[in-house]
Amino acid sequence: MAQATAAHTGATADRPDGLEGFVSDWGSDQRAFKGVPWGKAMMWIFLLSDTFIFTCFLLSYMTVRMSTTVPWPNPSEIFALSFGGEPIPLILIAIMTFILISSSGTMAMAVKFGYERNRKVSAILMLVTAMFGAMFVGMQAFEWSKLILEEGVRPWGNPFGAAQFGSSFFMITGFHGFHVSVGVIFLLITARKVWRGDFDSAKRGFFTSRKGNYEAVEIMGLYWHFVDLVWVFIFAVFYLW
């Protein structure tokens, strides 16, 4: 590790660990993030800014929900689904949660196999991840159509209670679904690059004209896990509240 990365990511082997390392890295008068490729650091900083965007959405939702005097619609009943018998509460959302977690698992392994130069397995795992993501978006589309067409939920009102339910729901899940969709597209692009061996042949990217390497798979993974991470918070505070 230390030898392989010393040339291009900053040596870490001879640096102190822990708090002392934190101080010496930041005070090194050089790059602060030792051992972190710049692309990965930039993805982390992008994800941090995205965290604040979702924070604003979820906080606005919290504020309107806590300040309204009208009863809030019960998500447990609204998102219930019947498979012939009694409606099972929140079942669609639970299935979507499990699908997204599974996609995170396959993505984590795709990163590992990418670094091992196991191109086929890495690409296939990324395609499986993309498939899970597409399934998630599909189920979300189903949920939206059901709410809009059958239940009559609108951003400005709904038959269940507080009018703010619709605007919060469409804004939060819509923005998250958009993130998933973008992730699926980039997963397909990255999987194609890995499958073709672009990162081994140092082929220049179509858009950036730069030579890529397998860090791109880890960066893709960071984005994808973040999408899963946001869903954890949406699931807890929007659907379970």
Partner 1 sequence: MAQAQDHHQAVAGAPHVEGQQHPIGIYFKIWGLLFVLSAFSYAVDYFHVQGYLRWTLILIFMVAKAGLIVAVFMHMMWERLAIVYAILTPPVLVLIFVAMMTFESDYTFLTRGLFFAIGE
Interior CA angle at 121 toward 120 and 127, to 5°? 90
Place of tokens 């589309």: 141
From 45-53, 140-148, 159-167, 183-191, span contacting partner 1 (CB under 8 A): 45-53
Question: What is the nearest approach in angstroms of partner 1 to the Cβ of residue 62?
Answer: 6
C-beta of residue 240 within 8 angstroms of C-beta of residue 64: no
Q: Taking CB under 8 A as the rule, does residue 35 contact partner 1?
A: yes
User: 202 by DSSP, 3-state: which?
Assistant: coil
**Interface pick for partner 1 out of 42, 53, 182, 240 (rule CB under 8 A):** 240
Using rule CB under 8 A, residue 228 touches partner 1: yes
Q: Give the x-and-dash track for 134-173 against partner 1 (CB under 8 A).
A: ----------------------------------------
Picking from 222, 209, 217, the residue whose alpha carbon sits closest to that of residue 189 is 217
Closer to partner 1 by CB, 27 or 159: give it. Answer: 27
Q: Looking only at residues 98 through 137 of this chain, which bind partner 1 when binding is defined by CB under 8 A?
A: 98, 101-102, 104-105, 107-109, 111-112, 115-117
Compute how many residues bind partner 1; rule: CB under 8 A: 73
Tally Cβ neighbours within 10 Å of residue 134: 17
Structure letter (DSSP) for residue 92: H
- For residues 94 and 79, is the Cβ–Cβ distance under 8 A? no
**4: contact with partner 1 by CB under 8 A:** yes
Q: Confirm or reject binding of residue 5 to partner 1 (CB under 8 A).
A: yes
What gap in Å lies between CA 133 and CA 137, rounded to an integer? 6
Q: Looking at beta carbons only, is 11 or 182 nearer to partner 1?
A: 11
Does 220 interact with partner 1 (rule: CB under 8 A)? no
CA distances from 174 to 30, 32, 40, 126 (A): 41, 36, 26, 23
Q: According to the binding rule CB under 8 A, does residue 90 interact with partner 1?
A: yes
Q: Does 41 bind partner 1 (CB under 8 A)?
A: yes
Distance between CA 225 and CA 13 in Å, rounded? 28
Residue closer to partner 1, measured from CB, 117 or 192: 117
